[in-house]
């Protein structure tokens, strides 16, 4: 089996280089690759890459993920998050390839407190969320053989994420303010990559009925917290693991969303119901703290 991985240096892309390697030959590209075009803002180049590589599976881990910046750069966000996945879907369909793609809890408006299911109607609050939703729709419209995994609050030992931001801020400031009215589940890039490999294995197995597995699934670690709960847990754990770390922040103040002003609005309810994924693929999803503690041990 031949796999084409786009966005290989992102949080999820980096972990996919590991988890996909047991499935077959992986051609892994980033935007600066010289052998093939891996730049999602170059739609012709992207189509050419798929035609040259002729993969059995395309895994797209590249995306415009700067949530606040997207508010002032909507065209670029839409090109990368919506137009490029549409091109990948058309090319995958031509080849009969499986297209694997990622989306986000930010496609929802965050109303209510019930975990969102795959049949709930998305209504994004931000440019990022809206472009990600358009990407999902472009894929569903052009390529039946797709797997879209909607995940949330992704972190990894490398790359930009909330854990690394909090560890940095806690060394700079005595007091942090963190929102305590947005609920979700921090999910490790490792988990996303491992689940992806399991799902691809099942979707490409010669067994009958695999076609029925295509579609959209919610993938997040088990349990829930708020950004404040997440920050409190990770800084407590950091102190326990490395008492000598110069963490100045002793006060982590919980604040409502209105008190922490950002360019983009974010959903209050980002809980994802993962029953469909667990049942379809026979998987268990670990509690969110398990992955966070593991990555902290790695970072520190």
Ligand X SMILES: NC(=O)C1=CN([C@@H]2O[C@H](COP(=O)(O)OP(=O)(O)OC[C@H]3O[C@@H](n4cnc5c(N)ncnc54)[C@H](OP(=O)(O)O)[C@@H]3O)[C@@H](O)[C@H]2O)C=CC1
128 has catalytic annotation: yes
Residue closest to 67 by CA, chosen among 208, 162, 170: 162
The answer to the question of residue 83 lying near ligand X (CB under 6 A) is no
**With contacts defined by CB under 6 A, how many residues of the chain interact with ligand TDO?**
20
Q: Of Mg ion, ligand X, ligand TDO, none, which one does residue 288 interact with (CB within 5 to 8 Å by kind)?
A: none
Measured N-to-C along each axis, helices 84-95 and 43-53 cross at an angle, to the nearest 10 degrees, of: 30
The answer to the question of residue 81 lying near ligand TDO (CB under 6 A) is no
Piece of the chain touching Mg ion by CB under 5 A; list 66-74, 81-89, 197-205, 292-300: 66-74
Please give the residues from 23 up to 42 whose contact with ligand X meets the rule CB under 6 A: 30-31, 38-41
- Asked whether the beta carbons of 98 and 204 are under 8 A apart, the reply is yes
Question: Smallest distance, Å, CB 11 to Mg ion?
Answer: 11
Interface with ligand TDO (CB under 6 A), residue from 72, 117, 250, 262? 262
Question: Smallest distance, Å, CB 141 to ligand TDO?
Answer: 22
Compose the 163-182 pattern: x for residues touching ligand TDO by CB under 6 A, - for all others.
Answer: --x---x------xxxx--x
With tokens 């795959």, the residue in question is 118
CB nearer ligand X, residue 33 or residue 248 = 33
Phi, psi of 108, deg, nearest 5:
-95, 160
With tokens 């509690």, the residue in question is 287
Interface with ligand TDO (CB under 6 A), residue from 106, 108, 183, 288? 106
The answer to the question of residue 10 lying near ligand X (CB under 6 A) is yes
The answer to the question of residue 260 lying near ligand TDO (CB under 6 A) is yes
The answer to the question of residue 185 lying near ligand TDO (CB under 6 A) is no
Degrees (nearest 5) of the Cα angle 291, 294, 299? 120
Compose the 223-252 pattern: x for residues touching ligand TDO by CB under 6 A, - for all others.
Answer: ----x-------------------------
The catalytically annotated residue of 64, 106, 128, 183 is 128
**With contacts defined by CB under 5 A, how many residues of the chain interact with Mg ion?**
1
Q: What is the number of alpha carbons within 13 Å of residue 81 lying toward its C-beta?
A: 24
Q: What residues make contact with ligand TDO under the rule CB under 6 A?
A: 65, 67, 104-106, 152-154, 162, 165, 169, 176-179, 182, 227, 260, 262, 266
Active centre residues (catalytic): 128
Q: What residues make contact with Mg ion under the rule CB under 5 A?
A: 67
């Amino acid at each position: 089996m031949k796999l084409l991985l786009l966005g290989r240096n992102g949080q999820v892309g980096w972990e996919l280089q590991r988890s996909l390697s047991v499935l077959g030959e992986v051609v892994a590209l980033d935007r600066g690759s010289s052998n093939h075009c891996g730049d999602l803002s170059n739609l012709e180049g992207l189509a050419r890459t798929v035609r040259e590589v002729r993969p059995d599976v395309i895994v797209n881990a590249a995306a415009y993920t700067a949530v606040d910046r997207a508010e002032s750069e909507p065209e670029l966000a839409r090109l990368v998050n919506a137009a490029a996945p549409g091109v990948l879907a058309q090319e995958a369909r031509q080849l009969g390839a499986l297209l694997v793609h990622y989306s986000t809890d930010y496609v929802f408006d965050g109303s209510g407190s019930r975990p969102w299911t795959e049949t709930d109607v998305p209504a994004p609050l931000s440019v990022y969320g809206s472009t990600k939703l358009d990407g999902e729709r472009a894929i569903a419209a052009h390529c039946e053989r797709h797997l879209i995994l909607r995940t949330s609050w992704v972190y990894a030992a490398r790359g930009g994420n909330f854990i690394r931001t909090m560890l940095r801020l806690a060394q700079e400031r005595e007091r942090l303010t963190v929102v305590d009215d947005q609920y979700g589940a921090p999910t490790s890039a490792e988990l996303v990559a491992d689940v992806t490999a399991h799902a691809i294995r099942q979707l490409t197995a010669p067994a009958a009925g695999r076609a029925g597995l295509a579609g959209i699934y919610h993938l997040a670690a088990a349990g829930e917290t708020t950004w404040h709960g997440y920050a409190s847990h990770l800084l407590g754990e950091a102190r326990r693991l490395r008492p000598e770390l110069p963490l100045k922040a002793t006060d982590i103040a919980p604040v409502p969303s209105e008190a922490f002003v950002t360019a983009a609005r974010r959903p209050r309810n980002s809980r994802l119901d993962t029953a469909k994924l667990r049942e379809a693929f026979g998987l268990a999803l670990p509690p969110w703290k398990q992955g966070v503690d593991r990555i902290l041990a790695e970072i520190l």
